[in-house]
Amino acid sequence: MSYQIEPIPNGETLIGEGPHWDIETQNLYFVDIDVDRVLRYDYKENKTYSAKIEGEEFASFIIPVEGENGKFVVGCGRRVVVIAWDGVSPKAQVVRVVREVQPGDEFALNRLNDGKADPRGRLFAGTMYNDQKDLFSKRKGELYSFEKGKPAALIKGDIGISNGLAWNEKAKKFYFIDSVDYNVKEYDYNVETGVASNPRVVFKHGSHLPDGMTIDSDGNIYICTFTGATVYKVNPSTAEVLLEIKMPCKQITSAAFGGPNLDILYVTTSKLNDQPSPAGNTFKVTGLGVKGLPMTKVQL
């Protein structure tokens, strides 16, 4: 297959993550985790804006809040917060804290990682142990769902690095990556209750660390590899790798379909550990011949 890869303007990050395509405004939102920065790529202008969240250390995901223009839910440390950002200013402010997870000294080194809204607007977000020296041995992470008017619900415990999330509402499936397990698990998913059950491994890679994930309208999942310079397109029903999208840098963090026709795959990357250019850029992949599913805003 012939596909094209090019960077978007000014989309460079240290650790790009959490891409969310807002279908209403034709904007791609994403984060630069370790420098608490949120970014907005304006498709019509072909221009990227960024802002630092005042008073915070991390920004692990960004999702627009349904019905609240200029408000976004963001993972900051172990807190889910709402920020106000006009999409242009170089600073954004926390306006309220939605929830804090894993309070207490035992989890002092934990932070939230990937987060996404399910088809009903519930926020799913998980944690990870954040000490680089001990990143893979401590399974202190947990995955939660946050539903309007309810306390946080624990979806899964005993997690190394809570990462990629995707849903197939039609097939009633939920997909989840714990990077430390080097696999993707598929769950039966009740979209009315938000309950995930009956996990099974649908993709496993022996050497490349899986990171973020998205899904297309055919139900195929796209798995980013933090150590493999590749996005794998996988049929989760058969575990068959349908395509290997070879990226121009090693640390591929996450992906989301966007563009007016939802046929552009936006891919975030990292230049952590002094990776050479073009590492850290945010790329658009065109010519894949598929479309994504519309992403959901968070209901708060």
Read off the pLDDT of residues 258-283 as tens digits, 9 standing for 90 and up: 999 999 999 999 999 999 999 999 99
Share of the chain above pLDDT 70, in %: 98
Type of residue numbered 264: I
Is 242 a domain residue?
yes
Question: Shortest CA distance to 83 belongs to which of 92, 40, 65, 146?
Answer: 92
- The span from the CA of 131 to the CA of 52, in Å, is 23
Is 299 a domain residue?
no
Q: Are strands 47-53 and 91-100 parallel, antiparallel or unpaired?
A: parallel
> Mean pLDDT throughout 37-57?
97
Q: Given this model, what pLDDT does residue 149 score?
A: 85
Is 165 a domain residue?
yes
Read off the pLDDT of residues 194-209 as tens digits, 9 standing for 90 and up: 999 999 999 998 789 9
Q: Given this model, what pLDDT does residue 150 score?
A: 86
Q: How many independent structural domains does the chain possess?
A: 1
Type of residue numbered 151: P
Question: Would you place residue 91 in the very low, low, confident or very high pLDDT band (cuts 50, 70, 90)?
Answer: very high
Instruction: At 56, give phi and psi (nearest 5°).
Output: -115, 160
Is 35 a domain residue?
yes
Q: Given this model, what pLDDT does residue 207 score?
A: 87
Question: Shortest CA distance to 125 belongs to which of 144, 102, 152?
Answer: 144
Q: Given this model, what pLDDT does residue 205 score?
A: 84
DSSP E strands in 35-152: the ranges are 37-42, 47-53, 62-64, 71-76, 79-84, 91-100, 110-117, 123-129, 141-146
- The span from the CA of 277 to the CA of 248, in Å, is 9
> Mean pLDDT throughout 129-134?
74
For the cut 90, the answer to whether the pLDDT of residue 97 exceeds it is yes
> Mean pLDDT throughout 145-169?
94
Q: Given this model, what pLDDT does residue 132 score?
A: 66
Domain assignment of residue 12, given as a range: 4-286
Whether residue 278 is preceded by a cis peptide bond, meaning omega within 30 degrees of 0, is: yes
DSSP-derived letter for residue 294 is P
- The span from the CA of 2 to the CA of 288, in Å, is 8
Is 274 a domain residue?
yes
Instruction: At 228, give phi and psi (nearest 5°).
Output: -130, 5
Q: Which helix (H) or strand (E) holds 159?
A: strand 153-159
Q: Given this model, what pLDDT does residue 20 score?
A: 98
> Mean pLDDT throughout 4-15?
98
Q: Are 278 and 9 in contact (CB under 8 A)?
A: no
- The span from the CA of 143 to the CA of 123, in Å, is 11
Question: Would you place residue 106 in the very low, low, confident or very high pLDDT band (cuts 50, 70, 90)?
Answer: confident
Q: Are 39 and 15 in contact (CB under 8 A)?
A: no
Question: Would you place residue 95 in the very low, low, confident or very high pLDDT band (cuts 50, 70, 90)?
Answer: very high
Q: Given this model, what pLDDT does residue 134 score?
A: 66
CATH of the domain at 222: 2.120.10.30
Question: Shortest CA distance to 172 belongs to which of 147, 192, 152, 200?
Answer: 192
> Mean pLDDT throughout 246-252?
98
Is 294 a domain residue?
no
Instruction: Report pTM.
Output: 0.97
3-state SS assignment for residue 276: coil
Q: Given this model, what pLDDT does residue 201 score?
A: 97
Q: Given this model, what pLDDT does residue 116 score?
A: 98
Is 273 a domain residue?
yes
Q: Given this model, what pLDDT does residue 138 score?
A: 78
Is 245 a domain residue?
yes
Question: Would you place residue 130 in the very low, low, confident or very high pLDDT band (cuts 50, 70, 90)?
Answer: confident
State the average pLDDT for the chain. 95
> Mean pLDDT throughout 83-101?
97
